Amino acid sequence: MEGTPKLPGITFKAFEELFIEIRDRTDYEYSICMSILEVYNERIRDLLKKSDDELEVFVDKKNCVNIPGLTYVEVNNTKEALKVFNLGKNNRAVGSTN
């Protein structure tokens, strides 16, 4: 998924294509925000904060999902998006099993 600097994976390619598409579409103004959450052991955590606070998911009358307290970070290019992605990846819960 992530690949290497010499052989980038789908994550890098998806970010790259997104920002190319935005650059090429001059008829609209775009704003891209990222959030990263983890569902682990039936707990929902914000991976962009160094916190173990558990979040709750709410669905409103229009079936829109809302997660109060979830962090959103605006990104303007692939480099910024990958930085946010890596922050979330580093904050994941990691354990081992037999």
Strand, coil or helix: what is 39?
Answer: strand
pLDDT of residue 41: 85
Structure tokens at 11: 């994550």
Residue among 73, 72, 71, 79 nearest 19 (CA): 79
The number of folded domains in the chain is: 1
- Which pLDDT tens digit goes with each residue over 13-58? 999 999 999 999 989 899 999 999 999 888 899 999 977 788 999 9
Residue range of the domain that includes 44: 32-90
State pTM to two decimals: 0.81
Q: Is 49 part of a structural domain of the chain?
A: yes
Q: Is 48 part of a structural domain of the chain?
A: yes
Q: Is 8 part of a structural domain of the chain?
A: no
Q: Is 25 part of a structural domain of the chain?
A: no
